[in-house]
Structure 1
Amino acid sequence: MVPAVHDKGKARAGHGQDKNWNYIIRSGLAGGIAGCVAKTVIAPLDRVKILFQTSNPDFQRYAGTWSGVFRAGKVIYNEQGVRGLLQGHSATLARVFPYAAIKFMAYDQVHHVLMPAREKETNARRFAAGAISGCISVFFTYPLELIRVRMAFQTRHQRIPPTSAAAGEPLASLASSSGTRIRTQPLRPSIMSAVAQIYHEGDPAPTAKPTTKHLFARFPVLKFYRGFTVTIVGMIPYAGTSFLSWGYMRSHLLYPREGKERTRFYPLYDLGIGAVAGAISQTASYPFEVVRRRMQVGGLTRPDRWMRWGETVKAVWAQGGWRGFYVGLSIGYMKVVPMTAVSYAVWEWGKRILGA
């Protein structure tokens, strides 16, 4: 059964569809479209939030205030135009479509397994269904998320170690005060250059002896899973509380209402309920998101090894105390509330259009 179905009649009729591949594909397609639409709506805010969360030195002075969001956005627009505000968005869409499709599709199926009938719906099972579906989607799409964050992190003045540079990029070499050579990152990195950059992080210098003892050297694919553990842990409260809030409010606000009036105003109900669910889930999971972002860009500062939970948490605390775990939260609300509202509303609309 789908928790966000159109009415009780369809809820009961949909039971036989849940294991039908045609139904699953249509549900996933609706979810993928919903994710892309929602992410496009808040793409500029997403770029600024990543720059704040990862303590990008070019934008640290704008962090911590509501006006700083718009001032930072203005700086990006003046220097790079609209393309700067959407930097990394191509990688976002490449990640979001499969991520949202898998998440909503998995939620439909997990919900059917845990709650095959309305009377079996409980808050604990709603939370579990959301958490499980979120973790499944993250596992399959995390490398795309890392690529997207790296692209959004780079700015005009960002410099990275030579071992982190994408192979073949025409970068200008500079010498730091310590004598270590550094290179400037291209203003608009492409998806392929970001992939190459991540893949070659931590590679030994041409004159150094190759070693197979390092984890990254033995399993280069792990470079695309920096921050994965904290992402999974953070996904549990995020997706869990989001789907819990969504299912709970829908069951109390929509299911008791009958008639054409309820059906007519479905999009408005979905937008409102989705907005509240987004605010709750963002509050519950935000500290995990800050730690995750730091670990994701850790390859730019420590390309030779895996950034651990403990040292990342200590670095955030040392830089800003407990407030450091909530830096950019105002943007988080500005971003997640409309994004969640649009994604749930478009998902429900897409399922109605596709007959899922």
Structure 2
Amino acid sequence: MSPNVSTSSRDKQSLHYIVRSGLAGGIAGCVAKTVVAPLDRVKILFQASNPDYRQYTGSWTGPFRAGTALYREGGVRGLFQGHSATLLRIFPYAAIKFMTYDQVHYLLMPTREQETNGRRFLAGAISGTLSVCCTYPLDVIRVRMAYQTKSPSQHGNSAPPTFTQAYKQIYNERTTPANGSQPVGHTRHYLDRFPILKFYRGFSVTIAGMIPYAGVSFLSWGFLRSRFLPPSKTGHKPPTPVADLTIGAVSGVIAQTSSYPFEIIRRRMQVGGITRPDRWLGLGETISAIWHSGGWRGFYVGLTIGYLKVVPMTAVSFTVWQGGKRMLNV
């Protein structure tokens, strides 16, 4: 038994295994994001309180009416605005997340007897946090592309901003304080010296939200699989695509509900250079603005469309990930 365990350990920690695991995860992320791209753009517009689409929030039909308006104004391209940046981000993001989860899962839970909900949560939180750290600037650019309905360089023209335009806009943003307060002045000083920090708006709250989101997502995934696909002498029962889709969907709903307020705060901070170009929006100021504008419900704006997006996205993501691993013999 010992030689087999040793061989299994070397195989799962080999470069060949890691690359195939990452490839399966990256493909899964791209497929899942493409499926829900139109819903994702509408959700960003709602979360960031875009003035052109604020009228559609607050009702079950709002997301569909907003999507119709996007299609009417920009056709299919309008529904997929910012998707190129999404794919640039999501492949490395998903690849790192699933690859890291495989490795951390094996290190923390090398045997089925060692699988606990706490370790499942920890493995998910670690993998999600690492993937965000590596790809966050691309997410900020993607949100800017999806948020804006007019090009920053063409006033009155509805042409969507390109990846390069969004990048230049963020890089060249000025953060001159409106009231000359010292804290904002310090922030401006650091931003002038390290412009890369402009691409990390909302990073702290993103990490705070990613821990419960990724942790709960993988915890739910592992728990539900162990509950409904109990191990036998030869391992788990062979899962069907329907089982993967169902378990993935439920996991996504649970994870989305637990972390959604963090996502609202993150989106507002990411578009802060557009909504409040005169200052760097801090965490406390952002939370206060959301509370004063909508109370506790303000932290759940767009949750309906969040469910509409997360259910198919998480279901497809986990299903394609598992299918890709089987195809790549991982």
Same fold (TM over 0.5): yes
Match in the other structure for 2:99: 105
Aligned counterparts of 1:15 and 1:259: Cα–Cα separation in 2: 18
Q: Which position in structure 2 is the counterpart of 1:123?
A: 117
- TM-score with structure 1 setting the length: 0.85
| Aligned mate of 1:222, from 197, 207, 227 | 197
Offset from partner CA, 1:20-73 (integer Å, 9 cap, x none) = 000000000000000000000000000000000000000001001110111010
Matched letter for residue 218 of structure 1: R
Amino acid across the alignment from 1:326: Y
1:192 & 1:137 partners in 2: Cα distance? 23
Moved over 4 A (4+): 10-14, 257-262
Matched, 1:147 2:141: yes
Aligned to 1:281: 255
Is 1:68 the counterpart of 2:62? The answer is: yes
User: Residue 172 of structure 2 aligns with which residue?
Assistant: 200
CA deviation digits over 1:207-250, x for unaligned, max 9? xxxx9961210110000000000000000000000000001111
**1:81-96 equivalences in 2 (<5 Å):** 81-96=75-90
| Identical residues among aligned pairs (%) | 63
Which position in structure 2 is the counterpart of 1:291? 265
Task: Please list every run of 5 or more consecutive structure 2 residues that lacks an aligned counterpart in the other structure.
Answer: 177-184
1:321 & 1:11 partners in 2: Cα distance?
55
- Structure 1, unmatched stretches of 5+, are 1-9, 159-164, 173-183, 205-210
Q: TM-score, normalised by structure 2?
A: 0.91
Aligned CA RMSD, in angstroms, stands at: 2.2
Counterpart residue type for residue 328 of structure 2: L
Which runs of structure 2 are paired with 1:133-212 in the superposition (5 Å)?
133-156=127-150, 165=152, 169=153, 171-172=154-155, 187-202=159-174
- Matched with 2:14 is 20
Structure 1 residue 188: deviation in Å? 1.4
For residues 322 and 354 of structure 1, do their structure 2 counterparts lie closer, same or farther at Cα, with a shift above 3 Å needed? same
Partner Cα separation in structure 2 for residue 151 and residue 30 of structure 1: 27
Q: CA deviation at 1:15?
A: 3.6
Alignment counterpart, residue 72 of structure 2, candidates 67, 78, 83? 78
Describe the shift of the 1:60–1:233 C-alpha distance in structure 2 as closer, same or farther (beyond 3 A). same
> What amino acid sits opposite 1:96 in the alignment?
I
Partner SS, residue 189 of structure 1: coil
The answer as to 2:292 corresponding to 1:318 is yes
Q: Quick one: structure 1 residues 323 and 77, their matched pair in 2 at CA, closer, same or farther if it must change by over 3 Å?
A: same
Match of residue 35 from structure 2? 41
Q: In structure 2, what is the Cα distance between the partners aligned to 1:289 and 1:80?
A: 26
Alpha-carbon deviation of 1:303? 3.2
Query: 2:57, 2:6 → 1: CA distance?
Result: 49
Displacement of 1:255: 3.0
CA deviation after TM superposition for structure 1 residue 116, in Å: 1.4
Which residue of the partner structure matches residue 238 of structure 1?
Answer: 213
In 2: Cα distance, 1:66 partner to 1:239 partner: 27
SS in 1 for 2:260: helix
Match of 2:23 in 1: 29
In the comparison of the two structures, how many residue pairs are matched?
318
